[in-house]
C-alpha cells in the first residue's frame, strides 16, 4: 500500500466532496419518514441548527465547552505494544474519545444539541439510551444548562445497567423504564418519539446517534466532526502524513461518521466501519445492519435495517449495548453503497479478545463498543501485512470512542474473573448477567 | 369490481345530515377470522368506513391499548399479506368502504406497487399513512393513481398553513385531522384544537375533513360532527373487542353511530 498524499486540501468545497453532504438525503437514504405532528418541530430544529452553524457566538460556545468542559482536544496516542503484539507491527494510533468528560464521544453531540434546545427556548430534553452512555451524557448536559431531562430506557436495560440509572438520577434526570414492545433501545426511541409528539412545544428530543429524520443525521455528525478534524491534524503533526486507514465501530454510527468526516475527501485513506456481529452473522443473533440488512424506514430515516420479510423490525443482539440497534445512520448506508467506506462485522468473541488485548498491552480499558473497532483493526493490519504492506510504514487510526469502566462487570463475567460468591450487584449494574448467560 | 370509496360514504352521510363514522380495528386481532367478524359488526351497526390497521413492530403514533393489541396480533402469527384476505372478507360482506392504516415500512418491504395492486384487488378503497408525509410519498402517489386508491394523509395542530395546503393538495378521500398533539388513546373530552385543524383543512380546499385521536363516545361524535365531515374512533373499539369480543364491538358501534338510540325508540 502506498503512502497517501497528505497535501490534499480538505477545506475546499467542490461538487465531488463527500464532507459537506447536508441531507436531508444521502443518495437514496435519509429523508423524513415520520408523523406530520413532528414536522413543525423538525423544521424549527433545522432552521435553528442552520442559523447556529453560521453564528460566531454559537461556534464559540461549542468550542469553549469542548475545550473547558469536555477536555478537548482528545489525545491521539500511539499504541506501540498493541501494535507489536497484535497488529504485526502496523502503527496503530488511538483517538482517545474515552478521555472526554463522561467517558465517550457522546458528550460532543449532547452539548451541541442542548445549546440548540436553549436557543429554541425549550426547557425540557428527552433522550433514549441503551447501555446508558447517551442517557448519562444527556443528563450531564441538562444539569450543566439547567434543563429538565427525561431518559427512556428499555426496562431490561434499566436492570442490567443499574449503575448508569443511578448516575442519571444523581445528575437530576428522570429515568423511565420502557415496558412496551421488545423493551430494548428501539422501543426506548419509540417511546421518546411518543413523548415528543405530546410535548413538542417545550421539549427537544436529543437523539443520541446520527440516525433519525433530517436534520438529525447531518446535525449529529456536525457536532462529532471535531473528532476527525483533530485526528487529521494530530496524525500529520505526529507522523507528517495521513494514515492508510481509519477505523471505528458502528451502531447508529455517530462516532464513526465523526472521525470519517475528517478523511472522507482524502481518497487514499481507507475507511472501515465495524458492526456488531454478535454470535456471528451466520446466526440470528447479531446487529450487522449494513452487512445483512435491507433498505427500509425506521425512526424517521430510510437506511439499512434489520427487518423480516414483512418489514417488521428484527431485534438485534450484541454484547455491546451501544451497538445493539437494528438500524444505522443513513449517511453510512450511502457511504457503503458508493464503496467509500467498507463495513464488516466483528463478533462478540473477537471484540472481547481485543478488549483484553488493549488492557494488557496499553493499560487502557476500552468500551466494548470501541473494542469492535480494535478487533477489526487487528484483522485489517494482518491483512495489509499479508498483502505486502511494510508494517512500520503503515498507519491505522482507531477511534477509541469510549472507556470501558461501564463494561467491567460484563468483561469480568465474560473472562470468568468474578470471585466465587461475589454478589452480582457489587460487580455491576452492567451487562454481567447477559454475559454470563452466553 | 366496483369499490366503495370513503368519499362516497362521506357524501352519503352528508346527504343524511350526519358525519360519517369511521371505525378502526387492528388486522389479525385477536386473530384473522375474529378481526373480520368484528369489522363486519362495525358495518352492521352504523359504521360507514372501516379502517384496518396493520400491526407493526414500531408503532410510534399508537398508545398502549392499540400497541398491546398489535403486539398480540403479531405474536399470534399475523402476516402482512393477511390484510388482503381481511379486506376481501369485509368487502364481500358489507357495503362499508374499507381502508387500511399502515406504517410505511411494511408497504415498502412488499413493494409499494405490489402492495397497492393486491390491496385494490381485495376491494380496499385507500390507505391512511401515519408516518408518511407528502415529501416522501412519490412512489405512493404514483401507485395510488395507477390503482385508483384514496390517499389519506394526516394534518396536526402543529401543521403550518403551508404544510396543510401541501397535504390537502395530494390527499384524496378525506384528510385525517389529528385532534391533539399525542398518540392514539381514549380521552375524556375532545381536544379544543380539533376544530381549528378541521377549519384549516377546509380553508385549504379539503372537501372531507375527519377527526381522530381521543374520540371514544357518542357525545364526542355529536360534538365533532357539528364541524367535521367524519369522526374516527379507534382505541375504544379495540378495548371493546379485547374485553367483550365481537358482540361488544357491535354494541359500542351502535352507540357511537346513534343506531342504539334509534332502535330503543323503535322498541318504545
Render pLDDT for A291-310 as a digit per residue (tens, 0 to 9): 999 999 999 999 999 999 99
Chain A positions touching B67 (Cβ under 8 A) are 180-181
Window 82-111 of A, Cβ < 8 Å to B: none
B163 and A194 within 8 Å at the Cβ level: the answer is no
Residue B58 has what pLDDT? Answer: 95
Q: Which of A24, A35, A207 to mutate to test the interface with B (most CBs of B within 10 A)?
A: A35
Chain B residue whose CA is closest to A295: B109
Q: What is the mean pLDDT of chain A?
A: 92
pLDDT digits (tens, 9 = 90+) for A71-92: 999 999 999 999 999 999 999 9
What is the band of A15 on the pLDDT scale with cuts at 50, 70, 90?
low
Coil, strand or helix at B108: helix
Residue B267 has what pLDDT? Answer: 46
Residue A2 has what pLDDT? Answer: 45
A39 and B158 within 8 Å at the Cβ level: the answer is yes
Chain A positions touching B105 (Cβ under 8 A) are 296-298, 305, 307, 311, 313
Is the confidence at residue A153, as pLDDT, over 70? yes
Question: Across residues A40-62, what is the average pLDDT?
Answer: 97
Cβ atoms A404, A366 nearer than 8 A: yes
Question: Across residues A112-116, what is the average pLDDT?
Answer: 98
Complex prediction ipTM: 0.94
Residue B268 has what pLDDT? Answer: 40
Cell of B152: 389519506
Overall fold of domain A76-102+224-415? Rossmann fold (3.40.50)
Chain B positions touching A190 (Cβ under 8 A) are 58-60
Residue B263 has what pLDDT? Answer: 56
Cβ of B12 under 8 Å from any chain A Cβ? no
**Omega cis (within 30) before A24:** yes
Residue range(s) in chain A whose domain bears CATH number 3.40.50.1100: 27-70+106-216, 76-102+224-415
- Tell me how far apart the alpha carbons of residues B223 and B213 are, in angstroms, rounded to a whole number: 14
Instruction: Report the CATH architecture of B6-258.
Output: Alpha-Beta Barrel (3.20)
Distance from CA of A418 to the nearest CA of B (A): 38
Which has more confidence, A343 or B262? A343
For the stretch B174-186, what's the b/e string if a residue is b when 16 or more beta carbons lie within 10 angstroms of its beta carbon? bbbbbbbbbbbbb
Instruction: Report the CATH architecture of A27-70+106-216.
Output: 3-Layer(aba) Sandwich (3.40)
DSSP string covering A201-261: TTEEE---SS-SSTTHHHHHHHHHHHHHHHHHHHHHHHHSS--SEEEEEESS-HHHHHHHH
B58 and A194 within 8 Å at the Cβ level: the answer is no
pLDDT digits (tens, 9 = 90+) for A173-232: 999 999 987 788 899 999 999 999 999 999 999 999 999 999 999 999 999 999 999 999
Chain A positions touching B157 (Cβ under 8 A) are 37
Chain A positions touching B159 (Cβ under 8 A) are 36, 39-40
Active-site hit among B48, B62, B229, B255: B62
A310 and B178 within 8 Å at the Cβ level: the answer is no
Q: Which residues of A are catalytic?
A: 106, 128, 401
- Tell me how far apart the alpha carbons of residues B81 and B182 are, in angstroms, rounded to a whole number: 29
B61 and A190 within 8 Å at the Cβ level: the answer is no
Is the confidence at residue A421, as pLDDT, over 60? yes
What does DSSP say about strands A294-298 and A300-305: parallel, antiparallel, or unpaired? antiparallel
Cβ atoms A285, A434 nearer than 8 A: no
pLDDT digits (tens, 9 = 90+) for A364-408: 999 999 999 999 999 999 999 999 999 999 999 999 999 999 899
- Percent helix, strand, coil in chain B (nearest 5)? 50, 15, 35
Closest partner CB to A36 (pick from B71, B104, B156)? B156
Number of other residues whose CB lies within 10 A of the CB of residue A95 = 32
**Omega cis (within 30) before A288:** no
Residue A437 has what pLDDT? Answer: 45
Number of other residues whose CB lies within 10 A of the CB of residue B32 = 19
Number of A:B CB contacts under 8 A?
116
Residue B1 has what pLDDT? Answer: 52
Cβ of A313 under 8 Å from any chain B Cβ? yes
Cβ of A299 under 8 Å from any chain B Cβ? yes
Is the confidence at residue A430, as pLDDT, over 70? no
Q: Which of A203, A301, A310 to mutate to test the interface with B (most CBs of B within 10 A)?
A: A310
What is the band of A130 on the pLDDT scale with cuts at 50, 70, 90?
confident
Ranges of residues in chain B whose predicted pLDDT is under 70 = 1-2, 262-268
pLDDT > 70: percent of chain A: 93
Distance from CA of B22 to the nearest CA of A (A): 20
Amino acid at each position: 500500500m502506498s503512502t497517501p498524499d497528505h497535501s490534499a486540501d480538505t477545506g475546499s468545497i467542490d461538487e465531488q466532496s463527500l464532507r459537506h453532504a447536508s441531507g436531508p438525503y444521502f443518495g437514496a437514504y435519509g429523508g423524513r419518514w415520520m408523523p406530520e405532528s413532528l414536522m413543525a418541530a423538525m423544521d424549527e430544529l433545522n432552521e435553528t441548527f442552520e442559523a447556529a452553524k453560521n453564528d460566531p457566538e454559537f461556534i464559540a460556545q461549542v468550542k469553549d465547552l469542548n475545550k473547558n468542559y469536555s477536555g478537548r482536544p482528545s489525545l491521539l496516542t500511539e499504541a506501540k505494544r498493541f501494535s507489536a503484539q497484535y497488529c504485526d507491527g502496523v502503527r496503530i494510533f488511538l483517538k482517545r474519545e474515552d478521555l472526554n468528560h463522561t467517558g465517550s464521544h457522546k458528550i460532543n453531540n449532547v452539548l451541541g444539541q442542548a445549546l440548540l434546545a436553549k436557543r429554541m427556548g425549550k426547557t425540557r430534553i428527552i433522550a433514549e439510551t441503551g447501555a446508558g452512555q447517551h442517557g448519562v451524557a444527556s443528563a450531564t448536559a441538562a444539569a450543566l444548562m439547567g434543563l429538565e431531562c427525561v431518559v427512556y430506557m428499555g426496562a431490561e436495560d434499566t436492570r442490567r445497567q443499574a449503575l448508569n440509572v443511578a448516575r442519571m438520577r444523581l445528575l437530576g434526570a428522570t429515568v423511565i423504564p420502557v415496558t412496551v414492545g421488545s423493551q430494548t433501545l428501539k422501543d426506548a426511541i419509540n417511546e421518546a418519539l411518543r413523548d415528543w409528539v405530546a410535548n413538542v412545544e417545550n421539549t427537544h428530543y436529543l437523539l443520541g446517534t446520527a440516525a433519525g429524520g433530517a436534520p438529525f443525521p447531518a446535525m449529529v455528525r456536525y457536532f462529532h466532526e471535531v473528532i476527525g478534524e483533530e485526528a487529521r491534524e494530530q496524525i500529520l503533526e505526529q507522523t507528517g502524513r495521513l494514515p492508510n486507514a481509519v477505523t471505528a465501530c458502528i451502531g447508529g454510527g455517530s462516532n464513526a461518521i465523526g472521525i470519517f468526516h475528517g478523511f472522507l475527501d482524502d481518497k487514499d485513506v481507507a475507511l472501515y466501519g465495524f458492526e456488531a456481529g454478535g454470535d456471528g452473522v451466520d446466526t440470528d443473533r447479531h446487529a450487522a445492519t449494513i452487512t445483512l440488512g435491507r433498505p427500509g424506514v425506521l425512526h424517521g430515516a430510510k437506511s439499512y435495517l434489520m427487518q423480516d420479510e414483512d418489514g417488521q423490525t428484527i431485534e438485534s443482539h450484541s454484547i455491546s449495548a451501544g451497538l445493539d440497534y437494528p438500524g444505522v445512520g443513513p449517511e453510512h448506508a450511502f457511504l457503503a453503497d458508493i464503496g467509500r467506506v467498507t463495513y464488516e462485522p466483528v463478533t462478540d468473541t473477537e471484540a472481547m479478545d481485543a478488549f483484553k488485548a488493549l488492557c494488557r498491552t496499553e493499560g487502557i480499558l476500552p468500551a466494548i463498543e470501541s473494542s469492535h473497532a480494535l478487533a477489526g483493526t487487528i484483522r485489517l493490519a494482518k491483512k495489509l501485512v499479508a498483502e505486502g504492506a511494510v508494517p512500520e510504514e503503515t498507519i491505522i487510526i482507531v477511534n477509541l470512542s469510549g472507556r470501558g469502566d461501564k463494561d467491567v462487570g460484563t468483561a469480568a463475567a465474560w473472562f470468568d474473573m468474578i470471585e466465587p460468591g461475589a454478589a452480582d450487584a457489587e460487580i455491576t449494574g452492567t451487562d454481567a448477567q447477559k454475559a454470563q448467560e452466553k | 369490481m366496483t369499490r366503495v370509496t370513503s368519499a362516497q360514504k362521506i357524501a352519503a352521510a352528508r346527504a343524511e345530515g350526519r358525519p360519517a363514522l369511521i371505525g378502526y380495528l387492528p388486522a389479525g386481532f385477536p386473530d384473522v377470522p375474529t378481526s373480520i367478524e368484528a369489522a363486519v359488526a362495525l358495518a352492521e351497526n352504523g359504521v360507514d368506513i372501516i379502517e384496518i390497521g396493520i400491526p407493526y413492530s414500531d408503532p410510534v403514533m399508537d398508545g398502549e391499548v392499540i400497541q398491546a393489541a398489535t403486539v398480540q396480533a403479531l405474536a399470534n402469527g399475523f402476516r402482512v399479506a393477511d390484510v388482503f384476505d381481511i379486506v376481501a372478507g369485509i368487502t364481500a360482506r358489507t357495503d362499508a368502504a374499507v381502508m387500511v392504516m399502515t406504517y410505511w415500512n411494511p408497504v415498502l418491504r412488499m413493494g409499494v406497487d405490489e402492495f397497492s395492486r393486491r390491496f385494490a384487488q381485495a376491494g380496499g378503497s385507500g390507505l391512511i399513512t401515519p408516518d408518511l408525509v407528502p415529501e416522501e410519498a412519490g412512489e405512493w402517489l404514483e401507485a395510488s393513481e395507477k390503482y385508483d386508491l384514496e390517499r389519506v394523509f394526516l394534518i396536526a395542530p402543529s401543521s403550518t398553513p403551508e404544510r396543510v395546503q401541501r397535504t390537502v393538495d395530494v390527499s384524496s378521500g378525506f384528510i385525517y385531522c389529528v385532534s391533539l398533539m399525542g398518540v392514539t388513546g381514549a380521552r375524556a373530552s375532545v381536544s379544543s384544537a380539533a376544530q381549528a385543524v378541521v377549519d384549516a383543512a377546509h380553508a385549504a380546499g379539503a372537501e372531507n375533513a375527519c377527526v381522530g385521536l381521543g374520540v371514544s363516545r357518542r357525545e364526542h361524535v355529536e360534538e365533532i360532527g357539528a364541524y367535521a365531515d367524519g369522526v374516527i374512533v379507534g382505541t375504544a373499539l379495540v378495548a371493546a373487542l379485547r374485553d367483550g369480543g365481537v358482540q361488544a364491538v357491535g354494541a359500542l358501534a351502535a352507540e357511537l353511530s346513534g343506531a342504539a338510540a334509534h332502535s330503543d325508540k323503535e322498541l318504545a
